[in-house]
Structures are given as structure tokens and as C-alpha cells.
Amino acid sequence: MKTLLIIDVQNDFMPSGSLPVPDGDKIVPIINGMQHKFNLIIGTQDWHPRNHISFASNHEGKSNFDEIEIHGQQQTLWPDHCVQGTEGAEFHPDLNTDNFEAIFRKGTDKNIDSYSAFYDNCHLKATGLASYLKEKGTTELYLCGLAADICVYFSINDAFKEGFACTFIEDASKALDDDEFKKLKKEMIAMGIQIVTSQYI
């Protein structure tokens, strides 16, 4: 089964949001226009409690984008974003979600961040997405969304480790840091991840 995983196309990651991804809104019509090419479509949402450990506002004396250590790992401190039940956590209003078979939410535990759609950053807790996709018979997994260098990248890594044949849709994704993503693309190619644009699906 050919499956599309649309990652975190949410208001707070748009140019007017609290954690804007440059040109994040430009991918919405591309994602809408290719949905008919897939048998199964899944969406994900960052869905943080207000007191989430990754928010700089919850660490006295710290600023947005500072780096600290949590659970033995480096953690970027982010602006408050995608807080549960807020407008910022909702999907972009123009994103067609009618065809979404399911929505998986991540980052719900206040004590640990979760970039990947499959696991938290320490791989302590699964979202259940891998089991769901396997039960549905997913053989080809295509990934896109925001941000390409963070949540999409970590999701691709975990999907690959779970044994899925992964394809990254480049024009349906945008990175927070383009220079960083150029390096990550080389890693993905070395892993055997296919990189395509939507017109070649």
C-alpha cells in the first residue's frame, strides 16, 4: 500500500506562527494536489502541554534556541508552539484533511520532546504509528511536511529503521535551517532514502 505521511503542517510553523518555517505555507497546495496518488493518508500534529520541557519559557534565565541537556541529550529550547487546543496547534486552514485516515499526535508528554512521528527523542515511548502502518499493509511510505530538517528528518530515520521503504517529497517540505538540511539530505541519500518531487510520484 502506498502511504503518505504529512508531518506537522500546523499554524505555528507557518510564516505568521510562533515558530515559523520559511515559506512553510507554500507546501500546502502541493500536498493537496498530490493526495489522490495515495491509498492511505496519515497526518501528524505536534501537541504539547503548556508546561512542555522544550519551551524556553519554562526554564528560568533561558532564551529561545538556547541548548541545554535533558535526559543525557542535547535539547534546543523552542518558543512556545503547538500548545494543545490552541489555534497554533491546528492544521493550516487550507490543508485538505478530508482524506486523512488517522491523525497521530506527538510531544504530548511534558517531560520529553518528540520530533519523530514514531517515537520520542529518547525512544522511550512509541506513538503506535509503526504498528498502525504495518497493520494497514503499508509497503511504500512517502513523507513530507514541516520542518524538513527536524520532525520530517527524524520521522524518516525512524521509519527507515522500522523497515519501511521511504521516499522524501522535497517540494512538499520546508526546512527551518536550509544549510543544515543540505547536510541531512546527504545522510538520507547515503541511507538509501529516495528523494523526489511531487510531479514524479
**H-type alpha helices, 79-152:** 129-136
What cell numbers appear for 57 in the block? 519559557
47-68, pLDDT tens digit by residue? 999 999 999 999 999 999 999 9
Catalytic residue positions?
A: 8, 106, 151
Judged by phi (left if over 0) then psi (alpha if -120 to 50, else beta), residue 158 lies in alpha
The count of domains in the chain is: 1
Q: Is the per-residue pLDDT at 72 higher than 90?
A: no
Q: How confident is the model at residue 27 (pLDDT cuts 50, 70, 90)?
A: very high
What pLDDT is recorded for position 73?
85
Mean pLDDT, the chain, whole residue set: 96
Distance CA 163, CA 200 (A): 23
105-130, pLDDT tens digit by residue? 999 999 999 999 999 999 999 999 99
Is 17 a domain residue?
yes
Where in the sequence is the domain holding 121, given as residue range(s)?
Answer: 2-49+83-200
Is 78 a domain residue?
no
What's at 17, amino acid-wise?
G
Q: What CATH number is given to the structural domain containing 32? A: 3.40.50.850
What pLDDT is recorded for position 70?
85
Is 67 a domain residue?
no
